[in-house]
Structure 1
Amino acid sequence: MQKVTSTPSDDARCGWYHLSGPRQPRPAHSGSKHARWTVIGAGYTGLAAARQLALNNPDDEIVLIDAQEVGFGTAGRNAGFAIDLPHDIGADDYIGDIDKAKTTLRLNVLGQSILRSLVERYGIDCAMRASGKYQAAVEGKGLAVLDAYRRGLDKLGQAYEMIEGDDLPGHIGTHFYKRALYTPGTILVQPSALVKGLADCLPSNVTLYERTPITEVDYGDQAGDKIVLGHANGRITTDKLILANNAFGMRFGFLQRTMLPVFLYASLTRPLSDEEQAQLGGKSFWGVIPADPFGSTVRRTHDNRILIRNSFSFNPDGRPKQQYLERFIKRHQASFERRFPMLPNVGFDYTWSGSLALSQNHEGFFGQLAPNVYGALCCNGLGITRGTVTGTLLANWIAGERSDLIDFLLQSPGPNKAPPEPFLSVGVNATLAWGQHKAGLES
């Protein structure tokens, strides 16, 4: 019996969740149940896998389990960038191997296409807009990053526009940045609204259980044994199990010491008044990512709020820590004031954390973990697009489909092993602290 020693339990003040449309959560599971297919994790990956499994197996019931409410957890807490372009931070030009970059681009674009089709088909109200993104820099090292990425985009044959600082206020209002690289392919969304909408339009043969944290798993002794998932109010026996719960997959006994649960922190202002919108200027909807990976992501949302997202912590149990929230809100306020001095009296309505599953070699896992157990895990910060496409392709691969994209995912070496504790926490925390310090004004 595998005990699941830590389950998701996110903090309460995620602005995306509270500002998205209300929905009626599905009941938690209780009692005993048997299913042929069970998916754990109702984020982008799990929703996509459950949907495609249901389409591939229309006569089977697909059970989808989430430990919390859909839209409340990690998938609803990111900055809402569905990015198309590869961004290999280990390569000098941020593109790296051109063949791998081209395949990564195709994967990301397919993920976007799947999401766009579902949003249009079911009328999901998630403020989805193909608005592109600005990658902006303040200091010399950030400007060097933009130049390197421009060279990589030239090599990849992708469109972009380099915008100088004097012209940026016409785009994003603020004079703060010296230069930005604009790429048109990114889609921006309200992430919690998107996840809620995807959950509410699942095929009829998907049964979703929310607020059902799994606390133990019996994988059996033989290859043909059924898998038993236990929780506080019952058990689910399943023929096949798909793990789509990122770093919590380690709690189920797989990929030990490979995924790093790193938390990022965000704050969302109150809506800007008409006068404040005029003082800010620029476009009414945009998103900025930092040239420095440890800098601030900034968005102007569809409802005229400003999002600031920065600051990191390593939480090995995958659960948030209140002391970090209280500490980082001050950093958010300072970041906001540097960028938007024309908005002196705008405060934050919401502050929250959200986790990333990162690996040291920037690789995820796709494939079979054990007899009758499969996984698409470790999103490395690209959960919206990559989670959607890997969940879909995993279900197709299980059904016997092969393609060059599936083969590309199967050929990944997977996330590599990290050092044991206490060396892991010491090393990751030191790296995060040094990176945030070096980010300087870009933070």
Structure 2
Amino acid sequence: MTERPIRRLPVNTGTSGWEAISTRAAPIRTLERPITADWLIIGAGFAGLSAARRLSQLLPDQTIVVLDAHEIAKGTAGRNSGFMIDVPHNLAAGDYSAADDAATALEIAQNRFAIAFAADAAAEYAMSREVFDPSGKINAAATPRGMTLNESYARSLSRIGEAHQLLDDAEMRDITGSRYYRGGLRTPGAVLIQPADYIRSLAAGLGSRIDLFEHSPVVGLAREGGAWKARTHKGAVVAPKVILGVNGHIVDFGHFSGRLLQIFTYASMTAAFPHEEGGPTASGAERWALLPADPMGATVRKIASGGLFRIVIRTRFTCDQRLKVPDARVAGIAAEQRRSFDARFPGMAHVPFEFSWAGALCLSRNHVPAFGEVEENLYSACCENGLGTVKSTLAGIMAADLATGASSKILQDYRNQPPPSRLPPEPLTSLGASAVIRFQELRAGREG
């Protein structure tokens, strides 16, 4: 047995507003002794918990252990914008879909399969409308270029028979209270989630069907006597089969090295305010959700929480192959976000940001997942390519199906993808990715 050491862990910079306003019912358990299980899942995010739920459905009598390096919802899963999107967009390409119509239709079907799985979980575990809201989303345009992108997107949706509605500036003002936007494009199939509450509700709903251990990072992984042994600081798990739901961190387990881009995006959340704050039209309707017409622009949501309201704004991307960003960068980008927020909502200028944070996502150059049996009985459900809530949910389900030998058309299609393509050597990858990102952000202009 030769143990593979895992020497690096992802670093979570800043406090996620989603996690800060979330609550949890169950106490934290840390692995402090050796145990055995039928299944080990590493990572308690969308991929890991979806894999656990799928395994519990397929093999209800088998034991499942889930390990997470942090407290659930404080990592990447609790740091996204909370959109489960059915109609795809492609961050790496700087457009909403780089695929042809047939491939786009397949991707939509896969996304909707994952959303249906999540919706079943939301119903089974009695998630509230504030946690899981199938209300659709709007692509908001603030510039002539944004309007052109929305119009092109609408034509693409019409061509493949997807429902949508174009909105003018007055309709956008009624929804958001802002005069900033020239128009929008509404699609009905997206689900809005409170990501931290969703993850915690999913873990709580699985309850006795899994053994979940937090603050239990895997620091060594080895094949031993026909099984896998994952060592933590104070304990170990021995299991015949392992699913890795660790996204870009998969490279630290020795797989897909030199093939994955580690990207960070940044968000800020306001302090809570009553609906009438700033006047009856300052922030529009009680709840709404905007994606930018240009994917490199600003994602903005107004959410309800405890009878009060907050606005979340997400902008900027950086490439950081070391899987960590400094606090100073989060603070600097938060200042940029403040200017972007004030331009949109001048009547809310007195409402401060309460939380600012960075969140990791993972891209491959050819926009495919890092998926499959990477070693004997070791399965990867990683690299979500910018649609983490949906793509990671799908990857977790597919990994569970693959590992159990389940057969389906959706698994066959999902497996029928090439591996992530190789990236140029460092520092060319980081320099090139950073240059492309910055160019696309500058081109987005007022959309950001």
1:410 is matched with: 415
Q: Is the 8 A contact 2:95 2:295 kept in 1?
A: no
- What's the CA shift for 1:95? 6.3
- What's the CA shift for 1:372? 1.1
2:255 is matched with: 254
Secondary structure of 2:296 counterpart: coil
Q: For the residues of structure 2 that align with 1:241 and 1:93, how far apart are their CA atoms?
A: 34
Alignment gaps of 5+ in structure 2: none
1:358 is matched with: 363
Structure 2 residue identity aligned to 1:416: S
CA 1:281–1:237: 2 relative to 1, 3 Å: closer
Structure 1 residue identity aligned to 2:108: L
- What's the CA shift for 1:92? 7.8
Alignment gaps of 5+ in structure 1: none
1:27 is matched with: 29
2:240 is matched with: 239
Q: For the residues of structure 2 that align with 1:357 and 1:123, how far apart are their CA atoms?
A: 31
Corresponding pairs, count: 440
Secondary structure of 1:199 counterpart: helix
Residue 41 in structure 1 maps to residue 43 in structure 2: yes
Secondary structure of 1:170 counterpart: helix
Secondary structure of 1:204 counterpart: helix
Q: For the residues of structure 1 that align with 2:48 and 2:279, how far apart are their CA atoms?
A: 38
Secondary structure of 2:115 counterpart: helix
| Equivalent residues in 2 for 1:12-23, closer than 5 Å | 12-23=14-25
Of residues 302, 305, 308, the one that matches 2:304 is: 302
- What's the CA shift for 1:41? 0.6
| Residue-by-residue CA offset, 1:307-356 (whole Å, 9 max, x unaligned) | 11001222212223212111101111011011011222111011111111
Q: For the residues of structure 2 that align with 1:91 and 1:261, how far apart are their CA atoms?
A: 16
Secondary structure of 1:276 counterpart: coil
Q: For the residues of structure 2 that align with 1:137 and 1:30, how far apart are their CA atoms?
A: 52
Q: Is the 8 A contact 1:14 1:72 kept in 2?
A: yes
CA 1:92–1:13: 2 relative to 1, 3 Å: closer
1:114 is matched with: 117
Secondary structure of 1:279 counterpart: coil
Residue 128 in structure 1 maps to residue 132 in structure 2: yes
- What's the CA shift for 1:438? 2.1
- What's the CA shift for 1:186? 1.0
What's the TM-score once normalised by structure 2's chain length?
0.94
Structure 2 residue identity aligned to 1:195: I
Q: For the residues of structure 2 that align with 1:171 and 1:41, how far apart are their CA atoms?
A: 38
- Which 10-residue stretch deviates more, 160-169 or 240-249? 160-169
Q: For the residues of structure 2 that align with 1:123 and 1:239, how far apart are their CA atoms?
A: 33
Of residues 6, 9, 13, the one that matches 1:7 is: 9
Q: For the residues of structure 2 that align with 1:352 and 1:297, how far apart are their CA atoms?
A: 14
1:202 is matched with: 206
- Which 10-residue stretch deviates more, 245-254 or 411-420? 411-420
Q: For the residues of structure 2 that align with 1:441 and 1:87, how far apart are their CA atoms?
A: 20
Q: Is the 8 A contact 1:244 1:377 kept in 2?
A: yes
What's the TM-score once normalised by structure 1's chain length?
0.95
- What's the CA shift for 1:436? 2.0
Q: Is the 8 A contact 1:93 1:148 kept in 2?
A: no
Residue 73 in structure 1 maps to residue 75 in structure 2: yes
Q: Is the 8 A contact 1:95 1:153 kept in 2?
A: no
Of residues 101, 108, 111, the one that matches 2:104 is: 101
Percent identity reads 31
- What's the CA shift for 1:63? 0.9
- Which 10-residue stretch deviates more, 63-72 or 430-439? 430-439
1:157 is matched with: 161
Residue 371 in structure 1 maps to residue 369 in structure 2: no
Q: For the residues of structure 1 that align with 2:244 and 2:148, how far apart are their CA atoms?
A: 39
Of residues 52, 55, 61, the one that matches 2:54 is: 52
- Which 10-residue stretch deviates more, 271-280 or 330-339? 271-280
- What's the CA shift for 1:213? 0.8
CA 1:242–1:424: 2 relative to 1, 3 Å: same
1:211 is matched with: 215
Structure 1 residue identity aligned to 2:152: A
Q: For the residues of structure 2 that align with 1:321 and 1:358, how far apart are their CA atoms?
A: 21
Q: For the residues of structure 1 that align with 2:302 and 2:279, how far apart are their CA atoms?
A: 10
1:315 is matched with: 320
Q: Is the 8 A contact 2:243 2:399 kept in 1?
A: no
| Residue-by-residue CA offset, 1:219-272 (whole Å, 9 max, x unaligned) | 35xxx6322212211222221111111000111011111221211111011122
CA 1:262–1:25: 2 relative to 1, 3 Å: farther
- Which 10-residue stretch deviates more, 20-29 or 39-48? 20-29
CA 1:110–1:364: 2 relative to 1, 3 Å: same
- What's the CA shift for 1:36? 2.4
